């Protein structure tokens, strides 16, 4: 069975041209999946979101573990790296909300 990110990548590859791709341009999207796959989803969703569109990523604080460099568990390390990547990403504006387990709101420029 293919990983969900692989399926989304395939859908993008066959719909990049024409009317179907235009219809896929979304205003909003959410990412709540396997934490080590968030970066792949982020890159794929950025291709689907129109400028001005909003992406919400859940669990971006991981109960505060992302702030503790001694926590090296795969999912937490992946989220920590993605937080840093998003804040440095010139393609977007971002804000990390500290509600519940952390929600990153990302607006595509």
Enter the tokens of residue 101.
């387990």
Are 76 and 65 within 8 A, CB to CB? yes
Q: For the residues 80-104, what does the mean pLDDT come to? A: 96
**10 Å Cβ neighbour count for 17?**
8
In this predicted structure, what is the pLDDT of residue 48? 83
Domain ranges of the chain: 4-108
Question: Rounded to two decimals, what is the model's pTM?
Answer: 0.80
In this predicted structure, what is the pLDDT of residue 89? 98
Helices (H), ranges, 1-109:
4-15, 18-24, 38-48, 74-88
Cα–Cα distance measured from residue 38 to residue 22, given in angstroms and rounded to the nearest whole number:
24
The fourth-level CATH superfamily of domain 4-108 is Vaccinia Virus protein VP39 (3.40.50.150)
């Amino acid at each position: 069975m293919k990983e969900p990110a692989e399926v989304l990548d395939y859908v993008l590859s066959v719909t990049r041209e024409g009317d179907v791709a235009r219809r896929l341009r979304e205003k909003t999207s959410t990412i709540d999946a396997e934490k080590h796959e968030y970066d792949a989803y982020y890159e794929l969703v950025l291709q689907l979101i129109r400028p001005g569109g909003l992406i919400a990523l859940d669990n971006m604080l991981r109960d505060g573990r992302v702030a503790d460099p001694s926590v090296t568990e795969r999912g937490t390390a992946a989220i920590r790296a993605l937080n840093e990547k998003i804040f440095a990403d010139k393609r977007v504006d971002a804000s990390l909300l500290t509600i519940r387990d952390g929600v990153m709101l990302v607006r595509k420029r």
